[in-house]
Amino acid sequence: MDAVICKWNHTYSQLVQTSYQPAQILTENDFLLPTTGTALDLACGLGANAVFLAQHGLAVTAWDISFVAIDKLTTYAAQQGLNINACQEKIVADSFTECSFDVIVVSRFLDRTLTDAIIGALKPDGLLFYQTFTQEKTSQNSPNNPDYLLGCSELLELFSPLKVVFYRENALIGEQLRGLRNEAQFVGQKRK
């Protein structure tokens, strides 16, 4: 079995999900979500974002490399009667189908090679909610590998074909013990 799959299976087998806390980018901007449609929770982990989206009336697809995480999410979604199709998926550009989703959420996952595929998978007027780790950080709690850390304003550059609806990257400005730190947030809309 692939070492990455083993790593994440081990991680998720150790976790007991007692509550589902979606990404802050979703909770603070939930008023932007459509009332119906399709959504993708990319690299969903235990599925907090997928659960949130399904509770808001969307038909959700959730992908993660860990079959342990997918099994846990599938069980929870069935118990709660949520419209979530959770699939174990090693996510590559070919995983995406053009114009498939009204909403795509990416939280604490970064693979720069997927940018064009993510944009392509959005339907016209579709929304991308993205929140992940940055290089400029106030603590070392997040990953340290630069492959998984955003440079300054990088989300704006990666998703420049999208209309910027919301962007935040507080970095090291001001009172560093307050506000969102160590992560950037982006909401973008695909133009027709």
**DSSP string of 63-90?**
EES-HHHHHHHHHHHHHHT--EEEEE--
Residue 163 identity? K
pLDDT in tens, 178-191: 556 578 899 999 99
Tokens of 121: 């998978």
Task: Give the position of tokens 């959770």.
Answer: 86
Q: Alpha-carbon distance 110 to 60, whole Å?
A: 20
Look up the CATH superfamily of 37-179.
Answer: Vaccinia Virus protein VP39 (3.40.50.150)
What residue has token string 């070392």?
Answer: 140
Helix axes 3-14, 67-80, angle to 10 degrees: 40
What are 92-140's pLDDT values in tens digits?
999 999 999 999 999 999 999 999 999 999 999 999 999 998 876 656 6
Map out the domains of the chain as residue ranges.
37-179
What mean pLDDT value characterizes the chain? Answer: 89
**pLDDT per position as a tens digit, 12-21:** 888 776 667 8
Q: With a threshold of 0.75, does the pTM exceed it?
A: yes
